[in-house]
Structure formats: structure tokens, C-alpha cells
């Protein structure tokens, strides 16, 4: 999409974000208009967005695309360094992965206890969906429900506690997270 000096295509992006709410749906809409490889500038950041399963798969399999983005916002969230689980390059990523896997295994990752927890959560999800359909008979917004399901699986593994699908405090926290991203 066309962009202006300083702000880039931010006004277009913001307008579409208000309409479609989620960032990925904004990029999906822009890709419908401009093609599967989309160049967009938001503020001072230039982004390339790739759409479509086949093209994404082909791109991710190429070594040229192994690096992670670097820029003001990525460094701001990591106190000026290239840190994190997702946004770093090897060899730091290799060390982070090893540490993460060791930590997750200590909580049951890859063990029978985790499988049992995931099965219980899946059963809880199905029961909740059935009750919602019986109660309302209408279409259900799955994003929020899946967010709680994933959070419950992780939280049960880490803290031994799960949240209710109707927990208002949790819904508020999740809405803040979605608004931020």
C-alpha cells in the first residue's frame, strides 16, 4: 500500500485494524489487494508479509530467511539487546532452546502427566462448547475460548491451577493482551 513520509502506511493499517480487529486479518486483507508478498511500512519499520500456506512454507524452509527482525521496537522490549525466545538468531537461540526444553521437562513436558493434563483440558473444552451451544444456540466466538484453553494447559503445568471459561478477570487480561498485539 502507498505510504507517507514518517508514518508510512500507518493510517491504512489503523483503519483496517479497527475494522478487522486482529493484525493477521489486516495483513490478510492487504494481501488480497496487493498480492501474497506484501511490503508495508509502519512508522519507520519496513515489513514484508508473506501470505498463503505454500509460500510461507517455502519461505521458512530457505536458509536466507533464518534471521529474525532487528529494529527499535525489538530492541526496546529486550533492553537494547537481541534477546528472547522467538526473536534471536543462532547460537543464542540454540542455548535458549536447550534451557527452555530443560525447564519444560521439569514441569512434565513430553511426559504422560502432560498428556493427561492436555486430554482433561480438551475434554473440558468440548464440554464447554457443548454447553454454550445448548445455552445460546448461536455461533460461538472461538478466539477467546481457545485462548483460555491454551492458557489453562500451560498454567496447569506451571502452577497446578486452571481458570474457568467465564472468569471475568481473565477475560479482561486477555482483551488487554489482544488490544496490545
Residue 133 is assigned to a structural domain of this protein: yes
Three-class DSSP category at 50? strand
Averaged pLDDT, 127-144: 89
Count of structural domains, the chain? 2
The answer on 125 and 176 residing in a single domain is: yes
Mean pLDDT over 35-56 rounds to 87
Q: Interhelix angle for 23-34 vs 10-20, to 10°?
A: 120
What is the average per-residue pLDDT within 117-146? 90
Q: How deeply is 93 buried, as exposed, middle or buried, from its count of CB atoms within 10 A (0-12, 13-18, 19+)? A: middle
Inside any domain, residue 152:
yes
**Residues 124 and 176 both lie in one domain:** yes
**Model pTM score:** 0.48
Q: Which residues pair with 40 in a beta bridge?
A: 47
Q: What range defines the domain where residue 46 resides?
A: 10-66
List alpha helices for 21-167, DSSP H: 23-34, 53-60, 72-76, 92-106, 112-136, 142-159
**Residue 96 falls within a domain, yes or no?**
no
Residue 5 forms part of a structural domain: no
In a domain, residue 159? The reply is yes
| pLDDT at residue 123 in the model | 96
Give the closest residue to 13 by CA, choosing from 71, 176, 2: 2
Q: Is residue 161 part of a domain?
A: yes
For residue 144, pLDDT over 90 is answered with no
Give φ, ψ of 121 to 5 degrees: -70, -40
List CB contacts of 128: < 8 A, sequence separation 6 or more: 145, 165
Decide if pLDDT at 86 tops 60: no
Same structural domain, 176 and 111: yes
Same domain, 113 and 172: yes
Residue 85 in any domain: the answer is no
Query: Do 60 and 112 share a structural domain?
Result: no
Amino acid at each position: 500500500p502507498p505510504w507517507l513520509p514518517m508514518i508510512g502506511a500507518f493510517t491504512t493499517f489503523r483503519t483496517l485494524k479497527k475494522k478487522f480487529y486482529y493484525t493477521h486479518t489486516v495483513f490478510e486483507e492487504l494481501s488480497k489487494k496487493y498480492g501474497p508478498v506484501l511490503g508495508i511500512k509502519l512508522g519507520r519499520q519496513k515489513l514484508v508479509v508473506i501470505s498463503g500456506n505454500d509460500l510461507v512454507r517455502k519461505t521458512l524452509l530457505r536458509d536466507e530467511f533464518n534471521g529474525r527482525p532487528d529494529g527499535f521496537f525489538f530492541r526496546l522490549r529486550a533492553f537494547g539487546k537481541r534477546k528472547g525466545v522467538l526473536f534471536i538468531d543462532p547460537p543464542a537461540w540454540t542455548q535458549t532452546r536447550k534451557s527452555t526444553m530443560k525447564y519444560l521437562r521439569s514441569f512434565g513436558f513430553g511426559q504422560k502427566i502432560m498428556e493427561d493434563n492436555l486430554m482433561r483440558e480438551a475434554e473440558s473444552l468440548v464440554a464447554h462448547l457443548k454447553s454454550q451451544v445448548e445455552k445460546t444456540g448461536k455461533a460461538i466466538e472461538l478466539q477467546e475460548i481457545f485462548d483460555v484453553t491454551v492458557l489453562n494447559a500451560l498454567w496447569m503445568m506451571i502452577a497446578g491451577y486452571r481458570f474457568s471459561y467465564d472468569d471475568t478477570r481473565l477475560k479482561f487480561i486477555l482483551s488487554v493482551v489482544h488490544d496490545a498485539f
